[in-house]
Chains A and B, each alone.
Chain A
Amino acid sequence: DGGITQSPKYLFRKEGQNVTLSCEQNLNHDAMYWYRQDPGQGLRLIYYSQIVNDFQKGDIAEGYSVSREKKESFPLTVTSAQKNPTAFYLCASSFRDRTYEQYFGPGTRLTVT
Chain B
Amino acid sequence: QKEVEQDPGPLSVPEGAIVSLNCTYSNSAFQYFMWYRQYSRKGPELLMYTYSSGNKEDGRFTAQVDKSSKYISLFIRDSQPSDSATYLCAMSERAGFQKLVFGTGTRLLVSP
Chain A residues in contact with chain B, CB under 8 A? Answer: 4, 6, 31, 40-43, 45, 48, 50, 58-59, 88, 90, 96-107, 109
Bound-complex Cα distance A109 to B40 (A) = 12
- The distance from the CB of A27 to the nearest CB of chain B, in whole angstroms, is 12
Q: Please indicate the chain A residues that have their CB under 8 angstroms from the CB of B43 in the complex.
A: 4, 6, 90, 104-107
B88 lies within 8 A of A43 (CB): yes
- Given known contacts A42-B4, A42-B88, A96 and B34 CB-to-CB distance under 8 angstroms: no
**Is the Cβ of A58 less than 8 Å from the Cβ of B95?**
no
Given contacts A4-B43, A100-B34, A107-B41, 7 further A-B contacts (CB under 8 A): A41-B104, A42-B105, A50-B97, A58-B99, A96-B96, A104-B36, A104-B44
Interface: B100 (CB within 8 A): yes
Among B4, B88, B98, B100, the most chain A Cβ lie within 10 Å of the Cβ of B100
A40 to B86, CA, bound (A): 11
Task: Evaluate contact between A90 and B44: CB separation under 8 angstroms.
Answer: yes
Cross-chain pair count, CB within 8 angstroms? 64
B89 CB, min distance to chain A CBs, angstroms: 9
Does the CB pair A99–B103 fall under 8 Å? no
Contact flags (1/0) for B92-112 with A, using CB distance below 8 Å?
A: 100111111111110000000
Tell me the smallest distance from the CB of B98 to a CB of chain A, in Å.
6
How many B residues face the partner with a CB closer than 8 A?
Answer: 26
CA distance A43 to B80 in the complex (A): 26
B41-A99 in contact (CB<8A): no
Bound-state CA distance A58–B41 (Å) is 23
The answer to whether residues A43 and B102 also contact, given A90-B44, A101-B46, A103-B46 and a CB cut-off of 8 A, is yes
Closest to A108 in B: B43
Q: Does B96 contact A107, Cβ atoms closer than 8 Å?
A: no
CA distance A32 to B57 in the complex (A): 28
List of B residues within 8 angstroms of A31 by Cβ: 97
Contact B49 A101 (CB under 8 A): yes
Q: Does B32 contact A (CB under 8 A)?
A: yes
Rounded to whole Å, the gap between the CB of B100 and the closest CB of chain A is 7
Closest CB of chain A to B59's CB: distance in Å? Answer: 18
